[in-house]
Chain A
Amino acid sequence: MCRYQLVARMLVAVLLVLCESSWTCAEETADAVAAIRKIGGTVRPVGKEWAVDFHLRGRRLTDKELVHVAALKNVVWLNVSKTKITSSGLVHLKGLDKLRWLHLEMTKVGDKGIEHVAGLDKLEYLNLFGTKITDKALGKLARCKKLKQLYLWQTDVTDEGVASLQKALAKTRIVRGVDLSKLASSFSSEVEKPKKRVPLKWVDVTSRGEAPARSEAGVNCEILFENRSKQPVKLFWIGYGNGALKFYTRLAPGATRKQNSYSKNAWLITDDDDQPLGFFLVTEDDSHAVVPGASP
């Protein structure tokens, strides 16, 4: 990584010399670049312009810190998705009149902020997925005549609002995404909310005698067995009464199995040659029973 950091700094220095008309201007730009990097953003040159990205390491970006982006000017691509910015912060975008791609998805930006975006007349790509914007914002965006792509999945816009904007911006591709409520009904038989499972304790054994002698009766629950070892394992239920072993299944490495069981039941895990490896004692909760890999 050090090599990259070094060459990236060299790149900035070279570009500043090449692209800027005066050292003063270059210093301002260098300061802005340094400030953006300090708060987790990345700055990449795009020809003589800049692409600025906060969406990975700069997610703590706040409204007032957008001032550093404004200072850079010549920004053509900006990604502030999943950051802490709100509508108020977008006032800093006003001067970025070369901006063509803007990622605002998954932020708290709402209708008020779109006023500042709508003035960016070179904007070609605008991503508002997962924001709280409504049809009010769409009315303002009708001013972005160069907009080619607009993303509105999981927002509060309506069919009417989108239709109206599409009329004003006939060439813009407006993406609404799938309707999750309809999606759920089309796969209704398969929708299963993931269960919260408590981890079941694995106990190492080397012989049958070290495992519980028998299972006791308890309440119904479900176990998800998972074989994370590198060998196939066998799953035996230790019976009630005399504790006879009942073979249930063989789990290949990486395989899982959902198993109905009861609390206070015991399950013995063996290798392919029936040599005991460990056991699980079932609790009342739905649980996750992991056959571990090699010891660390």
Chain B
Amino acid sequence: MQDGVGLAGLTLPTFFGLRADAESGSPAKSCIVIYLWGGIAHQESWDPKPEALSELRGEFQPISTATPGVQFSEHIPLMAKHSEKLAVIRSLNHHVGAHGGALYTSITGQKAPLGKAKDRKNWPSLTAMVSRFCEVPGGTPPAIAMPYLNYDNGALIQGQFGGWLGVDYDPIMMRTPAGKPYGGTSRYTNSELALKLELGRNRVEGRRSLREKLERQVGAQADFKRFDRFRQMAAEMLLSSPVKEAYDLENEDPRIRVMYGDHIGGQSMLLARRLTEAGVPVVQVNAGAGDLAGGSGDNWDTHRGHFPKMKKRLLPVFDRSLSALLTDLEQRGSLDETLVVVVTDFGRTPKINKNGGRDHFPAVFTQIMAGGGIRGGQVYGSSDRDGARPASDSCTPGDFHATVLTAMGIDPRTELPDREGRPFQICGGKPLPLF
């Protein structure tokens, strides 16, 4: 059985397993994927609908952004100031109305989940796929996800892992060490991967030495080897890697920490910046409570009390933390080399239900990109008056993925073999003209 992928099936541009720098410019060197679990309402964020029928319009007002003619919701005023850095894609759509399948579709760019959450037949997540093409020094994880994995009522969702790329490309799950947690239910279960970086050096060395002795007695077994990779990586990170230094948020200027907000959402985005600076090529921030658990927590699945929840809890944290991330990347001169993308399950219904909420709506929704060579200050595609259908330039999660891969210097048409050696084109979509 093959755990990863071999060289045999690689096409020439990626024969060396690495990304190619475009001759015309410098593509993104790292990627931050922000996932909004539950499905953010496009109408109350990036695609306000002031002309919609009154019963659909909602309570929020549109505001101008820094880009003439482009409006956002009044409750993301800080992001409105960053519109010149953003490509806003308002015509995304797919056909999956349930969270599990929708997360899978949005984060893998593929249609339907095939198996259980960690089934190796599943398609790799965007985070895992991009990391497959990135070279990292020893002790640096190719991809990290934080602060929680995404669950729905206790069930871990498919599509968040390395899938057929193999266990080597499962993003390392990491807790964010600071900030007020999202309200609602979040789970820390992935003990195999949860790296306890706060452990002291001596304790780690002692523990490693003990384990090595035990391993010599047990002998080299295949399953042990697989686990060994994570243990080895954890030990290297703990002892010497710049990743450890990056993980310690106490090393950050307290004023910068305040800029991101004393919330696990903001501190996770700050950590994402620090980790990419330390050489981690892809970092995923799941911005919302980890388990939808009926939708009562701080996640984007706003079936009830949509407007007060968005206004008071969800949008202020998100607006402050994401705008801080863009400000910080920009002032450090890192934004051109760091692609930031915001991904979500789907949009929400134009109709407001009897509980003052909006329900699942995959027929049209909005996602955004910034940095990494993406031209800012542009809107791609549009939804109709009521935010019910794409009105122009309809596009899919696959197209979004193809755009991300292209920005990262990866040809979306590249073929890789799966565990049985069957070749798969890594992405079926076409890059959007956002560069």
Contact = CB atoms under 8 A, between A and B. Distances in A.
Interface of A: 1, 3-4, 7-8, 10-11, 42, 44-47, 51, 56-57, 77, 101, 103, 105, 125, 127, 129, 149, 151, 153, 175-178, 180, 183-184, 187, 190-194, 228, 230, 253-255, 293, 296
B21 interface: yes
Interface in B316-351: 327, 330-333, 336
B393 interface: no
B336 A296 contact: no
B255 A184 contact: yes
B95 interface: no
Interface string B144-175: 00000000000000000000000000000001
A101 B16 contact: no
B335 to A, nearest CB: 9
A180 B255 contact: yes
Contact of A254 (B17, B181, B207, B259): B181
B249 to A, nearest CB: 9
Given A8-B16, A46-B23, A183-B258, A129 B336 contact: no
B278 interface: yes
A4 B135 contact: yes
A177 B242 CA distance: 25
Contacts of B119: none
B279 interface: yes
User: 10 shortest A-B CB distances, which residue pairs?
Assistant: A177-B331, A151-B333, A127-B333, A47-B23, A153-B331, A46-B21, A56-B279, A7-B16, A187-B258, A180-B255
B193 to A, nearest CB: 14
A3 to B, nearest CB: 7
A3 B259 contact: no
Contacts of A255: 181
A7 B336 contact: no
B181 A4 contact: no
A253 B187 CA distance: 8
B393 to A, nearest CB: 28
Most chain A Cβ neighbours within 10 Å, of B18, B23, B330, B333: B333
A258 B187 CA distance: 22
Interface in B182-210: 186-189, 191, 196, 207
A1 B138 contact: yes
A243 to B, nearest CB: 32
A105 B262 CA distance: 27
Given A44-B18, A178-B327, A192-B254, 19 more contacts: A4-B17, A7-B16, A7-B18, A42-B135, A46-B23, A47-B21, A56-B137, A56-B242, A77-B21, A125-B333, A153-B332, A176-B331, A177-B330, A178-B259, A180-B255, A183-B259, A187-B255, A191-B258, A293-B196
Contacts of B135: 4, 8, 42
Contacts of B435: none
B159 to A, nearest CB: 24
B232 to A, nearest CB: 11
A194 B250 contact: yes
B332 A51 contact: no
Contacts of B207: 296
A191 to B, nearest CB: 5
Contact of A175 (B26, B138, B191, B333): B333
Main secondary structure of the interface of B (DSSP, over half): loop
Interface in B46-100: none
Nearest to A106: B332
Contacts, number: 97
A114 B189 CA distance: 52
Interface string B232-256: 0000000000100000001001111
30 contacts: A4-B18, A4-B135, A7-B7, A8-B135, A10-B16, A11-B16, A46-B23, A56-B137, A105-B332, A105-B333, A125-B333, A129-B333, A149-B333, A151-B333, A175-B331, A176-B331, A177-B327, A178-B331, A180-B253, A180-B256, A184-B255, A187-B255, A187-B259, A191-B254, A191-B258, A194-B254, A230-B188, A254-B188, A255-B181, A296-B207
Contacts of A177: 327, 330-332
Interface in B279-316: 279
B15 interface: yes
A44 B26 CA distance: 12
Given A178-B327, A194-B250, A184 B137 contact: no
Contacts of B259: 178, 183, 187
Contact of B26 (A45, A101, A184, A228): A101
Interface in B128-143: 135, 137-138
A125 B332 CA distance: 12
Contact of A253 (B7, B138, B188): B188
B219 to A, nearest CB: 22
B254 A7 contact: no
B242 A151 contact: no
Contacts of B262: 190
A254 B175 contact: yes
Contacts of A183: 255, 258-259
A56 B278 contact: yes
B122 to A, nearest CB: 24
A193 B135 CA distance: 37
Contacts of B254: 191-194
A129 B329 CA distance: 12
A125 B18 CA distance: 24
Contacts of A254: 175, 181, 186, 188
Contact of A230 (B17, B191, B256): B191
Contacts of B331: 129, 151, 153, 175-178
B332 A129 contact: yes
Contacts of A105: 332-333
Nearest to B24: A47
Contacts of A47: 21, 23
Nearest to A194: B250
Interface in B13-39: 15-18, 21, 23, 26
